[in-house]
Structure 1
Amino acid sequence: MHMKCEGRDDGELRVGDSSAALWLDCQAGIAGDMLVAALLDAAPDRAEAEAVVTAALESLHVEGFDIAVTRVVKAGLSCLDFNVILDEAHENHDHDMEYLHGHAHAAHGACEHALHEHEHEHEHEHEHEHAHAHAHAHEHIHRGLAEVEAIIAAARVTPRARTLASRAFGILAAAEAEAHGVAIDQVHFHEVGAVDSIADILAASVLIDYLGIGRVCVPVLVEGHGTVRCQHGVIPVPVPATLNICAAHGLPLAPCEVEGELVTPTGAALVAALDPAFDLPARYTVRAVGLGAGKRTYSRPSVLRAVLIEEERGSGLQTSVDSEGVWTRAAELEAPTRIVKLECDIDDATSEQMAYAASELARAGAREVHWLPIFSKKGRPAYQLQVLCQSSEVPALESIIFAETPTLGIRRIECERTVLARERATVQTPFGPVTVKRATLPDGTKRVKPEYEDCAALARTCGVPLHEVVEAAILSAR
């Protein structure tokens, strides 16, 4: 069943403002399909939310999959299931318990499969299937990061959704590159970058934008133990890519009794891309709850809760309503007062190497990357690389610096800084939605700054000069 999504004439989908907060309760882990299902279930108008997702996925230049959205039962709870149904050429065995755990678990796997079928009995709500399959008897396609980013760039989605999806795949690629000991441009996705992960990541990104989610809280990722099978063989849980993502982005893990993988690399990459807080507000009001079902069956029911909340005044992270509309206070999350500066002097790298290194550092989460012209020993012209980051990001960024530049050492300087309180909202302009930041100066005056990427994307889409989009965003914000 195909659903149409109401869109603007310029081809971008409509979204709400970024005033909502999201709490992801990951007591049974997280995977891409679980997140999509939970967000769909939490949507005030689920039919419209499904239509938005369907329109986005139908715009993908990717073959070999259908979409089904159904209600299922997990541990007696009614949950939503988002299923990317792959054709035979693209199947990756991600939900095959016997494949994942090997023949030693065959009897156990068969038992679990029977339980899986019982738990996925449909309630009276009808099933939605969205055909997107073009069945071909070809071998499984391995795509590099550039190919995946090109697919995302061509999708009919908002700039914010596109940026989030691209960020998630960049995080995933960096983690896989580290796990396999190769450069990021040599990573070829198969297990985690198969068709279903492209669909899951784009669908989740679209829903985050559609629901107007501005803040995300993930107190902990609960993970199992043991081993699982992948295309390269049997590997330990947490799998290397998931561990690398958690290490690079400071995501908290908590082990549990489950033998198996609860946190997938795709799920971890989406969490990292959302740049979550790890503490819930002291007080909040629950606006909606969504339950997303996982496909794997373990001793702990595979359910992710997505809770849309509104922080109450005085609870730490707040939203404020004034004459300009709804603004999300972001000073505590986006402007830490303690940062780390990494720096090194380089006089024997090409301009291409330097540009690529800066790009990879930014992709991996660096807050700022600077190249400063200097004179080094013996009066030679050289450059100093400066990278600003949080302490949790230091190991991953140092690894990139050593891998992508010829430096033999990196200076690490801890810095204190004074930051302005800042707020963020998505404002509507004649060209489309633009994310805007507003800073409050010590004297109480306010300064508005539209996000460049949003403005640039709209300027290209609408065929107007960039400054017209920027001026319209500032006018709307004020």
Structure 2
Amino acid sequence: MGKTLYLDCSSGISGDMTVAALLDLGASEQRLREALSSLPAHGFDVAVTRVRKSGLDACDFDVRLDAAHENHDHDMAWLYGHLDASDHEHGHAHDHAHDHEHAHDHEHEHEHAHNHEHSAEHDHAHHHHHAHRSLADVCAIIDASAMSERAKGLAHAVFGKLAEAEAKAHGATPETVMFHEVGAVDSIVDICSVAICLDDLDVTEVIVPSLAEGHGTIRCAHGIMPVPVPAVVNLCQAAGIALVPAPVTGELVTPTGAAIVAALRTGSVLPASYAIERVGYGAGKRAYENCSGVLRAVLIAPAGSDDAGDGDRSTVTKLECDLDDCTGEALSRVIELLMAAGAREAHATPIVMKKGRPGHQLEVICDGELAPALERIIFENTTTIGIRSMDMRRHALPRTPDGIETPYGRVATKLVVMPNGHVRAYPEYSSVIEACVRAGASFQDVFRATQAAADAARNGDAREA
């Protein structure tokens, strides 16, 4: 059963703040570095350190770019200063706020080797290079990595939301819009890192009640923009994310931060009561008055969730489409691919379509963050040109894996706790088949023997108790 993450965004949210908070929660830095090293992107390194931010001990995650890829992400003078635009605007891809991820606070007690030399003597005349990438370009980078399939799905989901928001802002489509700041190496690293850490922590539920946001203006690749910038406005509008005005002149929510919430949030309301399992703090890099500058991430569990029969109550997404010109072999293949990519369930049901044509309805149940990646699989492997989706409540009984000794050898089973506290054993199909082949027995013989052995074992445990 996955974990529930609560993000307290009272100081806003950005990509690097989120990565830092998840690392502070216990995500493996080693596994993160191994996965990032497989990205077909160059010119970056990452540093993970401890800093003091507003008196709090916090984790800092810093994507360090080489001279060819450096940008204005940590340059407060460029972001908010009244500088001559001609001194700065020469193709730099500064993220609408953005994966600059909250410029460096001078309270940081660690030493950055590059020292972020964005000062007057830095003159910004260096030849920075920032590729303007399409969604397909970014997805290709993600797919070519050694990230887990679930992590890839999470990263695809975030970039998919960004593409929709940027496309709306620029009057384009998600497929044709070109990413500027959020297509830069540091933004790709931030988003992939969030996906890797969430997968490592086994987070399946993300609760974010609201986002605190400042006011004023900020400089970005497209000039001076009001806070929140257009991409953040579009993301929050489309996902129904509540913004809470903060007494801060400046930007607290970056497009990457907003996209993370828009793509991965599964709920906006905390349980009536809950237990805190772990807490992590991720430091931002900008110094603002009236703002702590940290993102607090909390792993929580509903109070009493260990009670027998309570189960897992969560939200899942259902994808469906109707097909009247897709072969059985194609349906079998797409179902196989969907399950391998993390779908909870995928099946096809025979239906009669308009004009009496026979067809099938393909249905997929998945975690919300995987929906964009699974939609891609459906489009690429079937003949459909449209997919319907809806969020659904799911209540799953508690279950644990187990194994039962039978006359045909050991067979894997699933132990399920019923609402009344009784336990049922369900033999695993693949393990039953293996026993059939091993012993030369029929499916029914092995299946019934496994259930009988499980019943005997439970009755023995009950007598001992």
TM-score (norm 2): 0.62
Aligned residues: 348
1:309 to 293, 300, 314: 300
2:3 and 2:204 in contact (8 A); partners too: yes
User: Does 1:100 find its partner at 2:82?
Assistant: no
Computing the radius of gyration from Cα coordinates, the structure with the larger value is 2
CA distance in 2 between partners of 1:427 and 1:155 (Å): 31
Does the Cα contact within 8 Å between 2:105 and 2:287 map onto a contact in 1?
no
Distance of 1:148 and 1:98 partners within structure 2: 30
Instruction: Select the residue among 261, 285, 292 that pairs with 2:282.
Output: 292
- 1:63 aligns with one of 42, 46, 56: 42
* Correspondences of 1:452-463 after superposition (within 5 Å): none
1:235-276 Cα shifts (integer Å, max 9, x gaps): 111111111111111112111111111111101111122133
Whether 1:276 aligns to 2:263 is no
Which one-letter code corresponds to 1:120 in the other structure? H
Aligned 1:426-445 pairs, distance under 5 A: none
Given that residues 69 and 128 in structure 1 are in contact (C-alpha distance below 8 angstroms), is that contact kept between their aligned partners in structure 2? Answer: no
What 5-or-longer segments of structure 1 have no aligned partner?
Answer: 1-17, 107-114, 130-135, 323-327, 344-367, 382-386, 389-413, 429-435, 451-477
Does the residue aligned with 2:175 lie in a helix, a strand or coil? helix
Q: Report Cα offsets for 1:192-222 as digits up to 9, x if no partner.
A: 2211111011111111111121221111111
- Give deviations 1:313-343, integer Å, cap 9, x for gaps: 2xxxx57778xxxxx95545337xxx9x9x9
Aligned CA RMSD, in angstroms, stands at 4.8
Tell me the equivalent position of 1:409.
none
**Residues 40-439 of structure 1 mapped to structure 2, 5 A cutoff:** 40-43=23-26, 49-103=28-82, 118-122=106-110, 139-299=129-289, 300-313=291-304, 318=305, 329=311, 331=313, 333-334=315-316, 421-422=395-396
- SS of 2:181's partner is coil
Partners of 1:273 and 1:157 lie apart in 2 by: 18
**SS in structure 2 of the partner of residue 84 of structure 1:** strand
Deviation at 1:281, TM superposition (A): 1.4
- The Cα offsets for residues 155-182 of structure 1, whole Å up to 9 and x where unpaired, read as 1121111110111111111110011110
Query: In 1, are the aligned partners of 2:54 and 2:293 still within 8 Å (CA)?
Result: no
Partner of 1:399: none
The answer to whether the 8 A contact 1:71-1:79 is kept is yes
Does the 8 A contact of 2:46 with 2:61 survive in 1? yes
In 2: Cα distance, 1:87 partner to 1:151 partner: 19
Are the counterparts in 2 of residues 98 and 105 from structure 1 also a CA contact under 8 Å?
A: no
CA distance in 2, matches of 1:157, 1:196: 17
Q: Distance in 2 between matches of 1:276 and 1:173?
A: 20
Tell whether 2:8 aligns with 1:25.
yes
Q: Is the 8 A contact 1:39 1:204 kept in 2?
A: yes
- Cα distance in 1, alignment partners of residues 184 and 211 from structure 2: 23
Report the Cα offset of residue 80 of structure 1.
0.8
Structure 1 residue 67 displacement after superposition: 0.6
Q: Given that residues 74 and 285 in structure 2 are in contact (C-alpha distance below 8 angstroms), is that contact kept between their aligned partners in structure 1?
A: yes
| Residue deviations 1:63-120 (CA, integer Å, cap 9, x gap) | 11111111111111111110001123222312211111132799xxxxxxxx956400
Instruction: Output the amino acid matched with 1:27.
Output: S
Distance 2:425 2:226 in 1: 50
Report Cα offsets for 1:390-416 as digits up to 9, x if no partner.
Answer: xxxxxxxxxxxxxxxxxxxxxxxx99x
The residue matched to 1:254 in structure 2 has which SS?
strand
Note if contact 1:21-1:311 (Cα within 8 Å) is conserved in structure 2.
no
State the 1:36 CA deviation: 0.3
Task: Kindly provide the amino acid, as one letter, of the partner of residue 43 in structure 2.
Answer: G
